[in-house]
Amino acid sequence: MKAIGVRAERPNVTTAASDAEGIGIRPVEEADLLAVFRIEKASFDQPWPFSAFERYLDEPTFLVAVDGTKVVGYVVADLMPNHGRALGHVKDVAVHPSRRGEGIGTKLFERVLAELRTRGAHSVKLEVRESNETAIALYNSFGFQYLRTLPRYYNDGEDALVMVADLK
């Protein structure tokens, strides 16, 4: 599974924080799924099917970023067992193309990592396209580090980097 749809250059933290002030982060609702799916299709050449989002509907770490009532981004994550300790897994993140560079991805990531920590995750992993430098920089800013490469992970043959972060 892929990990990010934040492809615009990352703004400086001061600008991003002020731009994203009016953005709320909340758990997804069924009524949000069409907007989430539209952002997915606008963000990725190989989008998840609508049914994939439906499967995660009850996951407490499937969050949306909203501006008023409009969904402008989302993150899908879950917990998985890992040698007796919970491991968070960020599965998909995207911000609407017209809203990138405003700090929305950062705000989503802050919230999902906090939610995973609250639910017992001691660490978090994700996969990201090797070529997605913007996403990798975002993840590095949250303490994610390269673990290994998954050759030809994506349908187009591109490798994925597995990155992990400690939540202690």
Q: Domains along the chain? A: 13-166 (3.40.630.30)
How many other C-beta atoms are found inside a 10 Å radius of the C-beta of residue 8? 14
Structure confidence by residue, pLDDT tens digits, 57-94: 999 999 999 999 999 999 999 999 888 889 999 999 99
Q: Is 139 in a helix, a strand, or coil?
A: helix
Q: What is the pLDDT of residue 18?
A: 45
Residues in the chain, pLDDT under 50? 1-18
Q: pTM for the complete prediction?
A: 0.86
Q: Which residues pair with 46 in a beta bridge?
A: none
CB 130 within 8 A of CB 160: yes
Q: What is the pLDDT of residue 157?
A: 95
40 sits in which H/E element = helix 33-43
Q: What is the pLDDT of residue 19?
A: 62
* Closest to 86 in 3D by CA, of 122, 126, 59: 122
Helix ranges restricted to H, 45-132: 50-55, 104-118
Residue 106 CA: distances (Å) to CA of 38, 133, 156: 20, 15, 27
